[in-house]
Amino acid sequence: MSFFESLRLDGQIALVTGAGRGIGATIARYLAEAGAEVVLLSRTLSELQTVAQQIAEAGGRSSIRQCDVIDSKALRAIIDELPRLDILVNNAGTNIPEPMIEVSDEHLDHLLNLNIRSCFIAAQAAVKKMLQDPDRVKKGGSVIHISSQMGHIGSPNRTVYCATKHAIEGLTKAMAIELAEQNIRVNSVAPTFVDTPLVRQVVNTDEKRAFLFSKIPLGHLAETEDIAAAVAYLASPAARMVTGTCLKVDGGWTAQ
């Protein structure tokens, strides 16, 4: 197999949660470009339709599943009904920056449910679906959690978010060890701040941008394509010996 062939995903089915916009949408487009048939899942139908159209115009294949990942029953049903699954990208998640002493029970529960519980349930259902394939050990499988650099460090006003992403890093390692015999690889990708509309709303002053750039040795925010490229690599045969690890796409933030 040549280097470029090792990056192909032809014949594989990939599910991407939070695929309607931002990082998830770019991940979906990259996986489709690599040859995978991509199942696009998020809450907003119009956004999914836009991504599906972009994939089709580029010659790729995709299908749409409208679902709030917090709805465990619906999420499990969607994954169970798939004909087959080879790749899961657990991308759906959020953050509510605020001082630790001001975190409400509502915000706490929402972040725990979305960033940890729904991630675990999606992974559990996906692995069950993967293991239904009698040739799974031969074919292999890949689960990729979108974590964060905040899963490796602490940061003010992000106590709950940091807690959830540290949990995802632990989940990644434990799953990788447990599923290695079935040849299902489990890894995480940890982005720094990514230049998306959501981040622009938070980083909305020159002072905030200057602070962020001072923390990133490469001196700029990440692009969604940077994260998608990391995911595409981890999903591919090129990463067949990579499991239980985190690929930090953070411009050097956590190396300091």
Query: So which residues are the catalytic ones?
Result: 161
Please name which of 38, 52, 42, 53 lies closest in space to residue 20, comparing C-alpha atoms: 42
Q: What is the token pair recorded at 233? A: 């690599």
Alpha carbon distance 165, 159 (integer Å)? 10
Tokens 């759906």, residue located: 92
Alpha carbon distance 197, 204 (integer Å)? 10
Alpha carbon distance 185, 175 (integer Å)? 8
Sequence-distant (6+) residues with CB within 8 A of 76 are: 121, 125
Q: What is the token pair recorded at 6? A: 């090792």
Sequence-distant (6+) residues with CB within 8 A of 200 are: none
Burial (0-12, 13-18, 19+ Cβ within 10 Å), 156:
exposed
Alpha carbon distance 94, 1 (integer Å)? 39
What type of residue is 103? V
Alpha carbon distance 173, 8 (integer Å)? 25
Residue pair 158/193 in contact (Cβ under 8 Å)? The answer is: no
Number of other residues whose CB lies within 10 A of the CB of residue 103: 15
